[in-house]
Structure 1
Amino acid sequence: MWPTLNIALLVITFAIFGTSHAIVPPAGRILGGEGAATGQFTFAASVRLDSAHVCGGNIIGTRQILTAAHCLVDNKKYVVNTNRISVRVGSVNQFAGGKIVYVDTIALHPAYERPTNDIAVLTLITELEVSSKLSIIALAKSIEEEPPVGSEVVVAGWGEQFSGMTPYKLQSTKFTVATDESCTNGYAANDETMFCLAHSLKQGTCTGDAGNGAIYNNRLVGISSFVVGNCGSRYPDVFVNISVFAAWIESQIELVATRSKVTALILIYHLCLNYCHNWRHNHVLSERGNSFRLCTLISKVAEIMLVRSAITLTILWLANAAPNERVVGGFDAYISQFPYQISLQHLDGSHSCGGSIISNKFILTAAHCVVVGNGIETYPPRFYQVRVGSVQRAAGGQLLNVKRIIVNKSYGNFLNDIALLELEEPLEFTKNIQPIEIADEEVPSGEDVIISGWGTLTTFGYLPHRLQWNTLKALTTEECEDAIKMGVDSFICLAHQSGNGACNGDSGGPANYKGKLVGVAGFVINGCGSNKPDGYAKVFYHRDWIKAHIGE
Structure 2
Amino acid sequence: MFIGYLAKMLLLLPVLLLCAVKGASISVKKYFPQSRIVGGATASVGQFPHQVSLKFLNSHNCGGSIISSTYIVTAAHCIALGKPPVEIPPQFLTVRAGSRHVDRGGQLVRVAEVKMHPLYDGSDNDIAVLRLAQTLRFNSQVKAIALAKRDPPTGVPILTSGWGLTRNGGNTTTYLQYTTLMAVKNEDCNRLTYGGVHESILCLAHNINNGVCKGDSGGPAVYKNQLVGVTNYVVGGCGSYNPDGFASVAYYRDWLRNNTNIALHIGMTFRKISIILCLCFIHIVWGDVFFLQPRILGGNRASEGQFPHQVLVRSTSGTVCGGSIISEYYILTAAHCVTYGSPPIKESTGSIIVKAGSTQLARGGQMLRVSKIIVHPDYDDSENDIALVKLEKPLKFSETIKPISLAEEDPPEGASVTVSGWGNVRDGGLKSRDLLFTTLTAMSHKNCNELLGYAPISLLCLAHRSGNGACEGDSGGPAVYNGKLVGVANVVYEACGSAYPDGYARVSYYRDWIVLNAEL
Structure scoring higher RCO (CA < 8 A, sep ≥ 6) equals 2
* Structure 1 and Structure 2 fold alike (TM over 0.5): no
When Rg is computed on C-alpha atoms for both structures, the one with the higher figure is: 1
Considering fraction of residues, name the structure with more helix.
Answer: 1
Task: Identify the TM-score tier after normalising by the shorter chain.
Answer: 0.3 to 0.5
**TM-score, length-normalised on structure 1?**
0.40
TM-score, normalized by length of structure 2? 0.43
